[in-house]
């Protein structure tokens, strides 16, 4: 496959996945902001969302304070923010258009219609009217795009590069979400002397995080227990049967990398395999004992390095 075609397919899927992940994070923040809590706690939630995507400096160049309306506007439709949902859907559509011949008609039409419909919804005021409904729509369109891709495309290199992009992006986002949210809630809720009301708020915040990765029902089915932070971390890091866990994402990345391997990708494949093995044989008590933040920071660095290796081995070389 031509490196330019692989590059467009890889980034098409990454941008679509990023749009969905942003919608998921915005939705969980929007829902938790409606819970009874101090103004400081609400503001901290919106700050945390921006820090997940490393967008705080860019946000502060345009806005003076942290509130839901401004953060959602910045993350949904701000053209100056390359990670906004609008920018991601545009980039996904443009990458799809560039390799129209490598896609089935159904995949292209899904990408194109998503872009056109999202613009129509913004013009009609969907964000101000019902943010939660708009975020659910973005998630649904991403699900539709993924389903149409798997259901209609030939299982060749084109599909493999799409899958690599999807799961590399998903693993990166899950790690960022878990790092920021776990750190914030651990500091707030793990102290002694919890009262009944504190435990109720604790439950709603942790359940909101699980719902942001479609993990609430899965947690109940797997653990059949009250929501415990260490089990949330185990589910989202080490469970290979949890679709958005780090382990599941790296299993998919490694499997698809093996299918497109070439003579120069040996080192990238080795690093992917080592990262996958660390997740396969890891234990949550060991991770927590050494520090969850340090573990997730290292994971993000390794995923970034892996993305760089994939670019060098398969995709269009980055220009200086």
Q: What is the chain's pLDDT, residue by residue, as a tens digit (320 residues)?
A: 588 999 999 999 999 999 999 999 898 888 878 777 778 877 888 888 888 888 999 999 998 888 889 999 999 999 989 999 999 999 999 999 999 999 999 999 999 999 999 999 999 999 999 999 999 999 999 999 999 999 999 999 999 999 999 999 999 999 988 887 777 665 544 443 444 444 555 677 788 889 889 999 999 999 988 888 899 999 999 999 999 999 999 999 999 999 999 999 999 999 999 999 999 999 999 999 989 989 999 999 999 999 999 999 998 665 54
What are the helix (H) ranges across 34-104?
39-52, 56-60, 68-77, 85-98
- Give dist(CA 242, CA 25) in Å, integer: 18
- Give dist(CA 148, CA 110) in Å, integer: 8
- Give dist(CA 59, CA 72) in Å, integer: 11
Report the 10 Å Cβ neighbour count for 284: 17
Q: What is the pTM of this model?
A: 0.90
- Give dist(CA 4, CA 175) in Å, integer: 29
Residue 184 has which token pair? 């914030």
């Amino acid at each position: 496959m031509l490196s330019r075609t692989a590059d467009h397919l890889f980034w098409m899927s990454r941008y679509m996945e990023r749009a969905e992940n942003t919608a998921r994070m915005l939705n969980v923040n929007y829902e938790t902001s409606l819970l009874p809590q101090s103004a400081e706690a609400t503001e901290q939630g919106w700050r945390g969302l921006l820090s997940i995507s490393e967008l705080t400096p860019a946000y502060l160049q345009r806005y003076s304070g942290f509130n839901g309306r401004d953060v959602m506007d910045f993350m949904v439709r701000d053209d100056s923010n390359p990670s906004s949902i609008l920018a991601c859907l545009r980039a996904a559509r443009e990458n799809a258009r560039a390799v129209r011949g490598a896609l089935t008609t159904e995949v292209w039409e899904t990408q194109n219609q998503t872009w056109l419909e999202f613009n129509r919804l913004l013009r009609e005021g969907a964000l101000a009217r019902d943010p939660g409904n708009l975020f659910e729509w973005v998630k649904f369109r991403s699900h539709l795009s993924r389903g149409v891709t798997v259901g209609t495309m030939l299982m060749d290199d084109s599909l493999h590069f799409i899958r690599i992009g999807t799961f590399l992006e998903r693993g990166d986002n899950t790690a960022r979400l878990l790092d920021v949210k776990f750190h914030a809630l651990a500091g707030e809720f793990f102290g002694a002397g919890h009262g009944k009301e504190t435990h109720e708020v604790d439950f709603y915040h942790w359940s909101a995080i699980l719902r942001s990765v479609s993990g609430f029902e899965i947690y109940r089915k797997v653990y059949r227990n009250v929501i415990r932070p260490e089990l949330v971390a185990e589910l989202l890091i080490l469970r290979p049967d949890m679709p958005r866990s780090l382990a599941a994402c790296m299993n998919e990345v490694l499997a698809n990398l093996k299918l497109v391997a070439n003579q120069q990708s040996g080192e990238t494949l080795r690093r992917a395999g080592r990262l996958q093995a660390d997740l396969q044989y890891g234990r949550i008590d060991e991770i927590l004992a050494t520090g969850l933040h340090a573990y997730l920071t290292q994971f993000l660095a390794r995923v970034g390095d892996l993305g760089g290796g994939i670019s060098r081995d398969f995709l269009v070389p980055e220009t200086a």
